[in-house]
Chain A
Amino acid sequence: MAEENKKRKEKIMSKIIGIDLGTTNSCVAVMEAGKAKVIPSAEGKNTIPSAVEPVKNLVGEVAKRQMVLNPENTIYSVKRLMGRRFSDSEVKKTQKMVSYKVKEGKEGMAVVEVNGKDYTPQEISAKILAKCKADAEAFLGEKVEQAVITVPAYFDDAQRQATKQAGEIAGLKVERIINEPTAASLAYGLEKKSGETIAVYDLGGGTFDISILEIGDGVFEVKATNGDTHLGGDDFDEKIVDWIAEEFKKDNGVDLREDKQALQRVRDAAEKAKIELSSTQETDINQPYITQGKGGQPLHLSMKLSRAKLEQLVADLVEETMKPVESCLKDAKIKTTDIKEIIMVGGMTRMPKVKQTVKDFFNKEPNHSVNPDEVVAIGAAIQGGVLGGEVKDVLLLDVTPLTLGIETLGSVRTPLIERNTTVPASKSQIFSTAADNQTQVEINVLQGERPMAADNKSLGRFVLDGIPPASRGVPQIEVAFDIDANGILTVKAQDKATNKEQKITIKGAVGLSDEEVKTAQAEAEKHAEEDRKKKEKVEARNQADNLVFTAEKTLKDAGDKVKKEDKEKVEAEIKNLKEVLGKEEASKEELEEASKKLSDELQKIGAAMYQAQQQQAQGGPQQEAPSKKKGKKEDKTKDKEKAEEGEVVE
């Protein structure tokens, strides 16, 4: 048992990373606190170019940058050679495409030769995986020794074995090799589905894959795969470059493709335009001084490319992807209507035209909410999390679906714990009384998004009494909300003077059906405007009320230090404001206007008192009622009996 525990400990204590080892780019992700997160490379990017220069041991971005200089020694697209025999037709095709030397190695397997030394595709891939490992370790601040690596669904045993070896060479224990489409499905949480058939459409930088999977009880079965190993984003870029060059030639008689430096700028501009046109309808391609005319005069590249034009340029490429899709469905012996979900993978699937074509074909909206460049790595990380025991029975922390608060003066809802707060959580605030000599407060616990108390759901209420009589606003009552991990809410009110406390425990403050949460949110949205007005009116009223209180207190405290005529003016304004307050239907503007008049008069008294230098500490002039300290209601005497919440002092 002890031995087993030790093993388990080791297994739990080290993270299993997920790696999408791609033909063009690779990506690494890891589970953190129950969520998959993409690990940025040392260069600060989310993906790593799958390029390696084995002599100087350059990997990724750096290897790619010196490719032109060192074409024979820079290995890219090595995935195309993984676990394949030299006689394989795919190897022959790749050989024609790449600038490095591919030859026959041990047991007829394809190897690459660099500087007179043979490297197996595993060794090259290992260098990419080693970088993934190093970047992950730098990011996590701990050793990483285990990984889940993805492979295309069509990879055979030899290719999977080669991928596993690559991981081992890189110092990673490969916990599992999973299919790329399976990983993508995991990223969308589709493992919970049962008996569903899904399609994964993966259009990457250089390859296109379509897979049909059947999911049953967490098991993914590949029904059929198809694709085009030489079709991808690069082909799309090339179409745009050609179009730009042709247009430019028409206008200027110069072929930009013959000027290497200009071509480089056109390539960059084409890729930028392609990306921009996924979110805009038209983009400008501006490259001043791109080249020189025949007479030596400078020529500028300046044109517009619309999304419609782009779609026209690449229409045949997009169409080409649909042939394998059709064959794949045929092989799987299913109809388009049998497909329940479609998942989009690969950067090219961001193109609206691609999404639309897929949507039209299946007559269903494809899933593309997870970043298509990262979705496979994310799924691999989730698989790693499952294997590491991090995902299965992970302590799922709940959130409060709706805001929790209490009712305060004027039937206003004051929030304590905002919605979407991760529980366990606690929060406390100091409140006070609303009337002089108020000896008890009632705490009404509210749940909901509406600013007025009555529009929210009351979860419970209780009374804290025995507060020593004092002026309003003086007693300090701490109201503390505490929700534990099980969603049980405890609300406690404590009088800081006497330490007397009262509390209530409410179950189910967290557990709400999705339906209930949606309804509450929709209500809040619907009434947002009128609620705001209502709340503003109450606030104006509270402020006016508080001002009356302050004014009366100031006059009383000032006694005969104030000139009689000044005092009368203030008294008149107090009377006026009280009248306005007396009217239930008084508008916010009326209240504010009357308040301002009183406030102005009151300030004069204050100024006069300061001048006379007779101001005393407790009778200081009030410029304006402090907005945070709301007053009590007009009919003070009636309110005295009633328990009521005060406002925030703090």
Chain B
Amino acid sequence: MGKKKIKKPVLEEKLVELEHKWKRALADYANLEKRVAKEKEDFVNFSKGTLIIKMLAVLDDLERCQRHLKDEGLNLSIKRFKEVLKSEGVEEIEALGGDFDPKLMEAVEVTKGFKNKVLEVALKGYLLNNKVIRPAKVKVGGGK
């Protein structure tokens, strides 16, 4: 011990405090390890997701174009585009005709029709590995 004698209770208190801080640090680390593993996995999907979201806007345009042009070549191109997306784990949200589900869709308009039914899809929604990357924008029936 040093020149100054520190009282036992003070030391005990300090010991308890340090022990807890140490445990806290260990816990933080253990949790971090778990999270890092999960984040690594998420990161791959996420980075893919940001690119795919941008590509979806292009697909929307092509589909709008097709609705107008009705060109067979363009049709094949869109099909191929979708196949590529599918192979990457992208899936279209089936919204039309079903019940409105805010977990997968965003209501943009309420129109005449069966209550809570999706009557029209204004913008297709997509899932990436079963997670929503873009909710479908839909028109929903308001009843009456």
Taking Cβ atoms with an 8 Å cutoff, the residues of A that contact B are: 1, 4-5, 8-9, 12-13, 32-33, 43-44, 58, 62-70, 139-142, 260-261, 264, 288-289, 298, 389-390, 395
Query: Which among B23, B107, B142 has the greatest number of chain A C-beta atoms within 10 A?
Result: B107
Question: Could you show 28 A-B contacts with beta carbons less than 8 Å apart?
Answer: A1-B9, A4-B13, A5-B12, A5-B16, A9-B20, A32-B32, A44-B131, A62-B102, A65-B102, A65-B106, A65-B107, A66-B100, A66-B106, A69-B107, A69-B140, A69-B142, A139-B35, A142-B27, A260-B109, A261-B108, A261-B109, A264-B137, A288-B61, A288-B64, A288-B65, A289-B64, A289-B68, A389-B17
Known contacts A13-B24, A260-B108: A141-B35 contact under CB 8 Å:
yes
Known contacts A33-B25, A288-B61: A8-B20 contact under CB 8 Å:
yes
Contact of B105 with A by CB under 8 A: yes
Contact of B110 with A by CB under 8 A: yes
Classify chain B: how many residues form its interface, as a range: 35 or more
Contact of B31 with A by CB under 8 A: yes
Q: How far is the CA of A58 from the CA of B28 in the complex (A)?
A: 31
Query: Do A289 and B102 have beta carbons less than 8 Å apart?
Result: no
Q: How far is the CA of A44 from the CA of B38 in the complex (A)?
A: 13
Q: Is the interface of B mostly helix, strand, loop or mixed?
A: helix
Query: Do B67 and A289 have beta carbons less than 8 Å apart?
Result: yes
Residue in chain B with minimal CB distance to A14: B24
Q: Is the interface of A mostly helix, strand, loop or mixed?
A: mixed
Query: Do A68 and B108 have beta carbons less than 8 Å apart?
Result: yes
Query: Do A298 and B68 have beta carbons less than 8 Å apart?
Result: yes
Q: How far is the CA of A66 from the CA of B104 in the complex (A)?
A: 10
With beta carbons under 8 angstroms apart, the residue of B28, B61, B105, B116 that contacts A65 is: B105
Which B residues are CB-close (under 8 A) to A390? 24
Q: In whole Å, how far is A384's beta carbon from the nearest beta carbon of chain B?
A: 14
Which A residues are CB-close (under 8 A) to B46? 44
Taking Cβ atoms with an 8 Å cutoff, the residues of B that contact A are: 9, 12-13, 16-17, 20-21, 23-25, 27-28, 31-32, 34-35, 46, 61, 64-65, 67-68, 100, 102-103, 105-110, 116, 122, 131-132, 135, 137, 140, 142
Residue in chain A with minimal CB distance to B67: A289
Which B residues are CB-close (under 8 A) to A13? 20, 23-24
With beta carbons under 8 angstroms apart, the residue of B27, B28, B107, B116 that contacts A67 is: B107
Query: Do A141 and B108 have beta carbons less than 8 Å apart?
Result: no
Q: In whole Å, how far is A615's beta carbon from the nearest beta carbon of chain B?
A: 47
Query: Do B35 and A69 have beta carbons less than 8 Å apart?
Result: no
Q: How far is the CA of A68 from the CA of B135 in the complex (A)?
A: 15
Since A43-B132, A68-B110, A288-B61 are in contact, a sample of 13 more A-B pairs with Cβ atoms closer than 8 Å, ordered by chain A residue number, is: A1-B9, A1-B13, A5-B12, A8-B20, A13-B20, A32-B28, A68-B140, A69-B107, A69-B140, A70-B107, A141-B31, A261-B122, A264-B122
Q: How far is the CA of A260 from the CA of B138 in the complex (A)?
A: 12
Query: Which among B108, B110, B131 has the greatest number of chain A C-beta atoms within 10 A?
Result: B108
Q: How far is the CA of A64 from the CA of B108 in the complex (A)?
A: 11
Q: How far is the CA of A139 from the CA of B42 in the complex (A)?
A: 13
**Top 10 nearest A-B pairs by Cβ distance?**
A69-B107, A289-B64, A65-B106, A66-B102, A68-B107, A65-B102, A12-B20, A62-B102, A5-B16, A141-B31
